[in-house]
Structure formats: structure tokens, C-alpha cells
Amino acid sequence: MNATFRQLRLFLSFAEHLSVTAAARACHVTQPTASMQLRELADSVGMPLYEQVGKRMYLTAAGEALARTARAMLDEWTAFEQQVDGIRGMTRGRLRVSVVSTAKYFVPRLLGAFCAAHPEIDVALEVLNRDGVVRRLRDNLDDLYIMSMPPADLELERHAFLTNPLDVIAAAAHPLAGRGHIGLAELARLRFILREKGSGTRLACDEHFKALDFRPDVRLELGSNEAIKQAVAAGLGLGVVSRHALAGEPIAEGLAVLRVEGFPVQSSWWTLYRKGKKLTPVANAFLQHLQHIGSAAPSS
């Protein structure tokens, strides 16, 4: 069985996008060239690697197995290239990171500081909802993953590096804004606007409310922190968001943070990767960068 690295890289791109056109674009080749390379790879394997059902492409069992093998091979080769660069005294390579949407408020700053120290490193950043990041984690598509609620059914290496307090927010003109202490029972008659089920923030909220034996009256479920802040500022209800999603002065967004009994919910941001995965030198350097930032950050 003969296959080139170029073919394997092309196939991995196809496996990610399930589109020959998108794979060709990502690998900077023409679509006819991509189609020919994929056919040659399938001929070499001796089995179809993908099939079209209706208008969609799907990997076959052989295609799924090849994608896992190719990813492991290319990850090992990338790690070898970076190790050789390290021996030469150079730090360069590619860093792939997937983060949940709330992390977009601070991860770019952390990446910016890292890239300033290592200008020859290229970064691929995926910002997705929690389910999207977990899917990429299951498929081992990236070097590192950042979220606040790691999946419990995977064996993972976990590194907490930053606190993630969750606050109750209200419109700046809300009658409870500015109150010194608010009992949780006072919120029982009020409506809440929360993140969608399955998000890290919602999972943490649901666990916390259950522990406090409190059942919020959920008026809306929204898919982003920005949408929640807009709805809360408009007076549609109370929200619960990460402190990282709030501006330095929430009043500038028409919001107030309420001092509610049992809040803020204390959670952490985690850097994750699959147990047994060998991190590249670049990924290790970024992990150490996050640990340094976390140890220097003031606790919330």
C-alpha cells in the first residue's frame, strides 16, 4: 500500500469538510487534482474511502480508519519536525486550538502574547459551542481544547489555568440593581434568560441551582452571551453569564451584576487533551504559557 503525505493531508482535509472542493481549497490544489489524488489513495487502500448519499458525502468504515491513522501519522511527523527545529534552536510550527464561545473573550489576548514571544508559530483557532468543541476533542483534531465543563466520558489530561466566575446580571434600571444582598428566594418570581442546554455555562448553572434546590423560571434560552446580555439589558429577565463575557464596566452595556446569595458560581477554565496524546513542542510551550498566565492572575 503506497500513500504520500500529500495525499494523507488532502484526505484529512476532506474528512474534516466532507467536500472535495473545500479540501482542494484548503490544500491549495485544483479540484480535479484533489479528486485524482483521492481516487489514487482509495485504489491504494483497495476500498472506497467515502460515498455520496443524496447531496452529502460520508466516510466509509475504511475512510474513518484511514482518517484516524493518517491523523496520528501526521501528528507524529509534525512533532518530529518541531523537535528538530528545537535542536537547531528554532521555535516554529503550527498550533491548533479549539475553544468554546465564551473563551473568545480572553483566549485571543493569551494567544497574542504567546505569538509575540514566538513569531514564527502559526495558530489555527476554532471557536465553537461546547458540543462542537467536544466533537473535535473526540476526533482528536486539535492540539489543545479550552472549556469550562469538560466531558465526563473521556479520559483526558486536564489543566485548570483561570477562574471562571458566573454572575447573575440584570438591566441597569432593574429594582434589584445596587442592592447590597439579595436572597435567592427573591428571584423565584422573576424570569431568567439562560444559555442553551448543553453549553458549559448552562451545565454549571443547572448543577448550581440544583444544589441550592432552586428552580429558575426560564423565559428564554439563547445561544450566545451577547444575545443574553442584549435581552437582559432590554428588561426581558435576569441572566447568568461568565464574568469574562462582561465589559470592564457592565453599566456601559446597560447591565448590573447582582449580589445574589450563592453567587458567583465558582468554576474554572481548563486546558484539555486526550490522555495518552503526545503534545508537540509548540503545544507544550502554549500549555506552559497558559499555566504561567493562570498562576499570575488574581483570583476572582
Summarize pLDDT for 222-255 with one digit per residue, the tens. 999 999 999 999 999 999 999 999 977 899 899 9
pLDDT band, residue 278 (cuts 50/70/90): confident
CB 128 within 8 A of CB 98: yes
140-172 confidence digits (pLDDT tens): 889 999 999 999 999 999 999 999 999 999 999
pLDDT band, residue 84 (cuts 50/70/90): confident
Residue 41 has pLDDT above 70, yes or no: yes
Res 118: pLDDT:
84
CATH topology of domain 166-258: D-Maltodextrin-Binding Protein; domain 2 (3.40.190)
For residue 104, count other CB atoms closer than 10 A to its CB.
15
Residue 85 has pLDDT above 90, yes or no: no
Residue 296 has pLDDT above 70, yes or no: no
Give me the phi and psi of 164, to 5 degrees please. -140, 70
- CA trace torsion 30, 36, 37, 40 (10° rounding): 180
Instruction: Say yes or no: do domains 5-64 and 91-163+268-296 share a fold.
Output: no
Collect all residues with Cβ–Cβ distance below 8 Å to 49 and sequence separation of at least 6: 11, 38, 41, 42, 59, 60, 62, 63, 66
Residues in the chain: 300
Cα 107 to its chain centre, rounded Å, is: 10
171-200 confidence digits (pLDDT tens): 999 999 988 899 999 999 999 999 999 999
CATH topology of domain 5-64: Arc Repressor Mutant, subunit A (1.10.10)
Residue 87 has pLDDT above 70, yes or no: no
> How many alpha carbons lie under 13 Å from residue 45 in its C-beta half-sphere?
24
- Whose CA is closest to 224, among 80, 77, 103, 88? 103
Say which residue the cell 500549555 belongs to: 287
In the numeric block, which cell numbers belong to residue 257?
Answer: 451584576
Is 162 or 88 the better-scoring residue by pLDDT?
A: 162
Q: Domain extents for the chain?
A: 5-64, 91-163+268-296, 166-258
- Specify the range with the lowest mean pLDDT, choosing from 54-68, 91-105, 269-283, 285-299: 285-299
Q: Which CATH number fits domain 91-163+268-296: 3.40.50.970, 3.40.50.2300, 3.40.50.720, 3.40.190.10?
A: 3.40.190.10
Rg over CA atoms, the chain: 23
| Average pLDDT score over the chain | 90
Distance linking the first and last C-alpha atoms of the chain: 56
Residue 284 has pLDDT above 60, yes or no: yes
CB 262 within 8 A of CB 183: no
Distance between CA 115 and CA 123 in Å, rounded? 8
Q: Which residues of 246-279 are buried (b: 16+ CB within 10 A; e: fewer)?
A: beeebeebebbbbebeebbbebbbbbbbeeeeeb
